Amino acid sequence: MKNVGKDNYISSLNCFHGNVDLPASSYHDSLEELWDKEEEPEYIEAVMKVSPSAYHHYLDVLSKGKSEKLPLHHAYDNNIELEGSLSPVGVIYSLSEQESETLRA
């Protein structure tokens, strides 16, 4: 487990030997906090029925609402600096001369 700013995260499950019991209260006060308010109760109940109770504190990764949003930016986000224009030059499939010239333009 690593501490980055105010958030803790598990960097690898290889560091755990045997079963790990992580209490849901350390992540969320209740299961209702895991889901967006717009989430349908039938969907939440269906997911909870098919998932083991030991993993209910991870149910937020299955939330439809949260899966449609990008994560918030954090201080530990990495920037990828691109040099110049890196448009692809390779041919995916055979093109005629006219099509090749159009792509290069």
Q: What pLDDT, on a 0 to 100 scale, did the predictor assign at position 70?
A: 80
pLDDT in tens, 20-48: 444 444 444 455 554 555 566 777 788 88
Q: Which domain holds residue 46?
A: 27-70
Q: What pLDDT, on a 0 to 100 scale, did the predictor assign at position 100?
A: 83
CA distances from 101 to 90, 91, 98, 104 (A): 13, 12, 5, 5
Cα dihedral 67, 16, 22, 77 sign = negative
Does 66 reside within a domain?
yes
pLDDT in tens, 57-103: 887 777 777 777 887 888 888 887 777 766 666 657 788 899 888 88
Global confidence as pTM:
0.30
Number of domains in the chain: 1
Does 22 reside within a domain?
no
Instruction: For residues 24 and 54, give the distance between their C-alpha atoms in angstroms, rounded to a whole number.
Output: 9
Q: What pLDDT, on a 0 to 100 scale, did the predictor assign at position 23?
A: 46
